[in-house]
Amino acid sequence: MEISENYLTNRVTGEIGQATAIYFPTSQDDVVELMQAVRKNHQKLITIGGHTGLSGATFPDNNQVLMSLEKMNRILKLDTETMTLTVEAGVTIAEISEFLAETPYFYAPDPGSKEASIGGNAATNAGGMRAVKYGVTRDNIRAMRVILADSRELQVGSINRKDSSGYDLKDIFIGSEGTLGVITELDLKIQPKPKFSRDILLGFESLTQLSPKVFEILASGLVPATLEFFERDSMSYSERALKLDFPDLSGQAFLLITLDGNAEQQLENELDYLASLSDEALILKDEQTRNAVWQLRGAIASSVELESIQEPLDVVVPVNKIAPTIIALKQMAIAADLSAIFFGHAGDGNIHANIIKNDLTDEEWTEKLEAYLDELYAYVAKVGGKPSAEHGIGLLKKPYFQKYIGTSELVAMKAIKRAFDPENILNPGKIFDL
Amino acid sequence: MEISENYLTNRVTGEIGQATAIYFPTSQDDVVELMQAVRKNHQKLITIGGHTGLSGATFPDNNQVLMSLEKMNRILKLDTETMTLTVEAGVTIAEISEFLAETPYFYAPDPGSKEASIGGNAATNAGGMRAVKYGVTRDNIRAMRVILADSRELQVGSINRKDSSGYDLKDIFIGSEGTLGVITELDLKIQPKPKFSRDILLGFESLTQLSPKVFEILASGLVPATLEFFERDSMSYSERALKLDFPDLSGQAFLLITLDGNAEQQLENELDYLASLSDEALILKDEQTRNAVWQLRGAIASSVELESIQEPLDVVVPVNKIAPTIIALKQMAIAADLSAIFFGHAGDGNIHANIIKNDLTDEEWTEKLEAYLDELYAYVAKVGGKPSAEHGIGLLKKPYFQKYIGTSELVAMKAIKRAFDPENILNPGKIFDL
């Protein structure tokens, strides 16, 4: 069987793996059948969604069978009374948006890649820009159907809004990166679209100046729909790629904030409050400027990719540690002679640090990057952070994850893996080594 | 060792159990020591919080050791930057409220019993009135320290606001009713107090008239802080107990709604909208009336308890099934010649049905109640509901839970239990039988 190189490639490192075969099930029954065959043949199974992951979680090794859910892409049911959208796991985020565009509802999570599948989003507990108000993928899934390693179907969660009836199975599978079961179908929480939305851009001289404003906003009780930060530098890549100009606002560090809600006057009052937080404030009234700013923000990572190999990181730290962490990580990068840009979700403490290869040789890059990552993850652990906020651990972050997680926690995770997949059939060697 | 009868009593049935001993640890080290001793002596351990549970989850059997965490009641740390309150598991909900009263923050969950411990709230995933806006206990715990059956300490969750770093251990322990580990310490999410709050009472001729208004409110995008419903009948118990009068509003079914937020004008506009939904609307401007209505609502269950033995249920159904479910359950009660009152959290589909013994003999009561519960839980399962929304399964709901849960789900829960507590030391026989 010829396997398209796309499915074998680690998107981040460019490495190409090997697999025995690839299958494209079109129904849950197909998944069950494939699972039975894989188990019988003592093979291993890697489930692939949109193949947009950034941690190598679907990268295959020998004797591994690939299963892409891209053909399980039907939107099954819109239930407006319980505000639930039922979809197959291969449906993309873009397809969900498109479907709901015609309705009064929206699905809140807004992760970077719109070509990601909803099953992949669930498997990595994807985050995105709107998490500060609407939560991450975990908070927006009511229920799922999962095929286990022994081919049984499991229903996890329900469309009930409250539940204290036994152990919470749903949240074990969310974020388990295909190592515990195959998510085939999901009941998503949808919400009424807010009637109004406003955006504002605030410039600051430095991250040190920006950081206290984030606390101030969060402590005021205002809950923005997005609360993004980035440094001026990180915009230059998307400016070149999109041929768009960032607004002429002085400052080296920026907050880009969206407010949404049904009370227009209230949003205007909140905007005035936000504008008062910086001498360099631009309310994005003009639709063209607004779109440009959001396009530039959204394209940071993909624009870097056009110019160089990069390592896209998604560490998370407690919200009061964002500024000191970025300052420390920048100093480490300078000391290591590595290019890096920093941006992310200030309301969540989620820092994207993209480390850029530029014209380093492969050897230099590997050596410098490894040394830098050792130092970076040690720092993140020291301030109480975690290696992944929203991309997952996969293969690429596994060494750091295993190094800094508590022994008891790792033992507990392995016990869960063994309980659900005693023969280690599902995505073996990802997240941790058994 | 003399054990006070209080700890041995099933609060709902009045039954008195037996236990080998009771301990009152004052530190996590004490818990570890006790766990080691229990394991060594091949005993079983039941952890007790505020002893306010309504499902018999702490009811002891022979050769079981009781451990009350009531002396682990210190508030350890208020971290305003990450908005985290760290407490020992024995701290009560009332003590948390009292502590935070002096600060600009609040802990959002508001379960019925204020004497419940926060550890018990976590163990049952307690809900309460404000869940429709602020979520249940699960949504308001950032992290916990848990002592496992093998005496290891486990840190689950973190104060980071996002996390995709390995399996979600935290949510397995929340709602596990003391069967997987002993929760000793919790990091709670706290939030800025909303500046304004408004309450309104809406009367309707019947539940059938009330029910569509609930959808209408939820679909409007308005997110009330509470969205309570009750029938006129259910108020009569608390009117007698508290010697307070319910406002003179005609109707048999009521919605009691709280709006909160920082924008006063917006709340007034929303109140106007809500008032337009019923001819019998009373905005609770007068503080005395407002307090009286909330006291009457809060005291329903405890007031019934003063007059009769009762069985307090907390089923949950999809939000669009509330009215048909209550209508069906009422008809069943009439047919069975049983008294029952219905109230609950309309925004969550969480129905409290309190079945009242009155002057039935013990034999009549047991027989009629069992037959009724068989019918009730069958109906709830048929409409996609669950036996417990917020009290937990414990002992009392175990037969119904085991009957209606899917086979795969029960197998999965048992696998988790065995993974964490292979010797079945912790609260054996609760939720399900191994």
Mean pLDDT score, A63-69: 94
Question: What six digits make up the tokens of B79?
Answer: 């971290």
H helix intervals, A168-231: 170-173, 207-219
Residue A292 has pLDDT above 80, yes or no: yes
Q: Mark yes or no for CB contact B124/A164 under 8 Å.
A: yes
Average pLDDT across chain A, whole number:
96
Three-state SS sequence of A10-36: CCCCCCECCCCEEECCCCHHHHHHHHH
Are A262 and B222 a contacting pair at CB < 8 A? Answer: yes
A61 pLDDT higher than 90: no
Cβ contact, residue pair A154, B348, below 8 Å:
no
CB–CB contact B384 A221 (8 Å): no
CB contact under 8 A, A159 and B384: yes
- The answer to whether the Cβ–Cβ distance between A319 and B161 falls below 8 Å is yes
- Interface contact A221-B406, CB threshold 8 A: no
Chosen for mutation from B136, B161, B322, B403 (greatest number of chain A CBs closer than 10 Å) is: B161
DSSP per position, A54-73: SS-TT---TTEEEEE-TT--
Within 8 A of A162 by CB-CB distance, chain B residues are 127, 131, 136, 316, 345, 348-350, 389-390
Inter-residue contact B323 to B351 (CB < 8 Å): no
CA distance A394 to chain B (A): 9
State the DSSP H helix or E strand holding residue A316, giving kind and residue range, or none if neither. strand A310-316
- Residue of chain A whose alpha carbon sits nearest to that of B348: A161
CB contact under 8 A, B384 and A169: no
Indicate the residue of B126, B263, B316 with minimum beta-carbon distance to A263. Answer: B263
Percent of chain A at pLDDT > 70 equals 100
- Asked if the ipTM is above 0.85, the reply is yes
CATH of domain B308-396: 3.30.70.2740
Distances, alpha carbon A252 to alpha carbons A110, A207, A255, in Å: 26, 8, 10
**β-sheet bridge partners, residue B203:** B254, B280
DSSP secondary structure letter of residue B433: -
Which residues of chain A lie closer than 8 angstroms to B148, CB-CB?
408, 412
E strands within B215-365? 226-231, 253-261, 280-283, 310-316, 339-345, 350-356
CB < 8 Å to B175, chain A: 164, 166-168
Mean pLDDT over A25-49 rounds to 98
Q: Cβ contacts (< 8 Å) between A148 and chain B: which residues? A: 408, 412
The yes-or-no verdict on residue A1 having pLDDT over 80 is no
Of A187, A186, A214, nearest to A344 by C-alpha is: A214
Distance from B422 to chain A by nearest Cα, in Å?
A: 11
Closest-CA residue to B85 (of B94, B96, B95, B93): B96
Mean pLDDT of A7-20: 94
Averaged pLDDT, A136-145: 98
Cβ–Cβ below 8 Å for A166 and B194: no
In chain A, residues with a C-beta closer than 8 Å to the C-beta of B83 are 218-219
> Average pLDDT of A76-89?
97
Q: What is the structure's pLDDT at B62? A: 76
Domain B196-300 has CATH 3.30.70.2190: yes
User: Taking CB atoms and an 8 Å limit, are A162 and B126 in contact across chains?
Assistant: no
Q: To probe the interface with B, which of A133, A167, A350 has the most B CB atoms within 10 Å?
A: A167
Residue ranges of chain A that CATH labels 3.30.70.2190 = 196-300
CA–CA separation, A114 and B409 (whole Å): 32
Record: fold of A308-404 = Alpha-Beta Plaits (3.30.70)
- Residue B165: name the closest of A113, A424, A398, A329 by CA: A398
pLDDT digits (tens, 9 = 90+) for B278-291: 999 999 999 999 99
A interface test, pick of B162, B260, B350 with most A CB neighbours within 10 Å: B162
> Which CATH fold would you assign to the domain B5-68?
3.30.43
Give every residue of chain B whose pLDDT is below 50, as ranges.
none
Domain at B75-192: CATH code: 3.30.465.10
pLDDT for A211-231, tens place per residue?
999 989 998 989 999 999 999
Nearest to A160 among B83, B263, B349 (CB): B349
Question: Residue B419, Cβ neighbours under 10 Å: how many?
Answer: 18
What is the structure's pLDDT at A2?
85
Query: Within chain A, which residue ranges are assigned CATH 3.30.43.10?
Result: 5-68
Phi-psi region of A429 (alpha: psi -120 to 50; beta: other; left: phi over 0): left
Q: What is the pLDDT of residue A273?
A: 97
pLDDT reported for residue A322: 93
Query: If we measure between CA atoms, which residue out of A137, A74, A140 comes closest to residue A111?
Result: A137
pLDDT tens readout for residues B387-402? 999 999 999 999 999 9
Report which residue type is found at A187.
D
Nearest CA distance, B347 vs chain A (angstrom): 8
DSSP per-residue letters across A76-142: EEEETTTTEEEEETT-BHHHHHHHHHTSSEE---B-S-TTSBHHHHHHHT--BTTHHHH--GGGGEE
Dihedral sign computed on CA atoms, order A387, B140, B68, B410: negative
Residue A160: list chain B partners with CB under 8 A. Answer: 316-318, 349, 384-386, 389
pLDDT for the residue numbered B376: 98
Are B217 and B274 contacting, i.e. CB atoms less than 8 angstroms apart?
yes
* Chain A positions in Cβ-Cβ contact with residue B154 (cut-off 8 Å): 406, 408-409, 412
Name the band, by pLDDT with cuts 50, 70 and 90, for residue A261.
very high
- Inter-chain CB pairs, A–B, below 8 Å: 259
Q: Mind listing the pLDDT tens digit for each residue in B31-64?
A: 999 999 999 999 999 999 999 999 999 999 877 9
pLDDT at position B237 is 96
Q: Which strand ranges, in their side-by-side order, compose the sheet holding B64-68?
A: B21-23, B64-68, B44-48
**C-beta separation of B305 from B355 below 8 A:** no
Residue range(s) in chain B whose domain bears CATH number 3.30.465.10:
75-192
Domain with CATH 3.30.70.2740 in chain A: 308-404
Least CB-CB distance to B164: which of A167, A175, A413?
A175
